Amino acid sequence: MKWWAGSFFWRTLAVLVVALVASQAASFWLFRQQVQQPRMMMGIGHFVSHLKTIHAALNTLPPGAEREFIERLAEREGIRVFPARGQEPGRPAGDRPGMRMFRERIKALFGEDAEVFVRPGSPGEFWVRLRAGTREFWVAFPRNRVDRDNTDALLYWMLAGVAIAIGATALIAWRLNRPLARLARAAEDLGRGGDPAPVPESGPSEVRAVAIAFNRMKESLKHEERERTTFLAGISHDLRTPLARLRLDVEMLEGRVDAPVQKGMVDDIEDMNAIIDQFIDYARSEATEAFAPVDLSALARECAERAARTGAPVQCELAGLPPLMLRPLAVRRLVENLIQNAVKHGGGEILVRTASSGAEATLAVLDRGPGIPAADIERLKEPFTRRDDARSGRSGAGLGLAIVSRIAKAHGARFDLAPRDGGGLAASVAFPIAA
């Protein structure tokens, strides 16, 4: 039932088709009950009266007038009358609704032994035996005089109407679904951090209103993002200048203050610089960077080697992966943030691992720190959140994992935090290979 849950087009089409079929079936039933059957009964009544007249004429007319009457019947009415000789001319007629009514009427009029027959050589005629005095006659007449059940024609008409209605409904549903499908794709792209093109403002008035509102919302979000980027970049730039002067002043204090005090001041300045770098990374939009083929294992090795040169205990277990269509600088920031997070909060050796499984390529950074409680995992992916009591070490701005989560979402990837076997944390990002 995925088609029912996932497609507006099929749901709309199914509902409309069911409604059309139900209305056609109701119309068919009402037509049979209120129009076809009354007309059939009226026609059969007229013909039975005609047979009654023929029977009376055969009873009363002299032989010469009788012959003329029979010839006139054949010429004008298509009804043939023959003297009955031998057995019945064929088998009894079927039990269709019209025939059932006709049989009941002639039995009531001419006796219970009255029957309607079909002759093999004359499929278009019915035969009825009439007793006139001491003689018996066969009356052959066109079957459409009593068997006017055009159910097949009505069914064909109903099926043709349903087919035309389904075609028209499919066209209408498609025209409604197309702008909504475009809107859904654009909303999904926007939710992943992309910058979709404006949705065409076409279609029915309600759909057009939704498209207009979506385009305004997208432009408003872009405007707010630009303002946020400019604001954070301005603050970061304004802070770097006094921090640089402060760092210079601290370096000039060498010999005037204790070395541990001076080192603590330098470390604090480096922490502030790192926090500013995180603000700039978080303010940067990934949507402006183009996708390009990326060797994820090679990129992970470069980031691990850079961290190792600063003294971090980083090891690699890298698999051969196919090139992935990624935003190279954004993914590099993702890997560096994961490694920095492991260096800052983890303990012992850090392992950078890549692997492929089915339709996904996975990058994982594993540490031996205290880990993260399961209840806090989703919260720590949000910006400006920290849990220093669970992951010891120096505190930052609480943006590292939020940056990773946002970059992963912009690539349609899955970002997971889980306990590592033997203790520690395993942070992994699964990229879709097909993308």
At residue 200 the predicted structure's pLDDT band, cuts being 50, 70 and 90, is: confident
Contact 359, 433 (CB under 8 A): yes
Question: Is residue 393 over pLDDT 50?
Answer: no
All domains of the chain in start order, with CATH: 2-152 (3.30.450.300), 197-288 (1.10.287.130), 289-432 (3.30.565.10)
More confident residue, 356 or 20: 356
Q: What's the mean pLDDT in 299-305? A: 93
For 52-73, the pLDDT digits (tens) are: 777 777 777 787 787 777 777 7
H-type alpha helices, 129-204: 151-191
More confident residue, 159 or 232: 159
Question: Is residue 166 over pLDDT 70?
Answer: yes
Least confident of 159-168, 215-224, 324-333: 159-168
Helix (H) or strand (E) holding 239: helix 205-251
- Considering only CA atoms, which of 7, 15, 12, 19 is closest in space to residue 162? 19
Q: Which residues pair with 415 in a beta bridge?
A: 429
- Considering only CA atoms, which of 231, 201, 194 is closest in space to residue 216? 201
- Considering only CA atoms, which of 376, 369, 316, 379 is closest in space to residue 347? 369
Q: How far is CA 84 from CA 6, 24, 81, 108, 346, in A?
A: 72, 48, 9, 21, 112
More confident residue, 223 or 323: 323
pLDDT at 392: 43
Question: Is residue 129 over pLDDT 50?
Answer: yes
| 242 residue type, one letter | P
Least confident of 115-124, 134-143, 392-401, 420-429: 392-401
Q: What's the mean pLDDT in 196-201? A: 83
Q: What's the mean pLDDT in 211-228? A: 82
Total length of the chain:
435
For 234-292, the pLDDT digits (tens) are: 776 677 777 777 777 777 777 676 777 777 787 777 777 777 776 666 666 666 678 89
At residue 167 the predicted structure's pLDDT band, cuts being 50, 70 and 90, is: confident
Q: How far is CA 272 from CA 208, 318, 341, 409, 411, in A?
A: 49, 33, 16, 28, 30
Q: How far is CA 429 from CA 192, 290, 320, in A?
A: 15, 20, 16
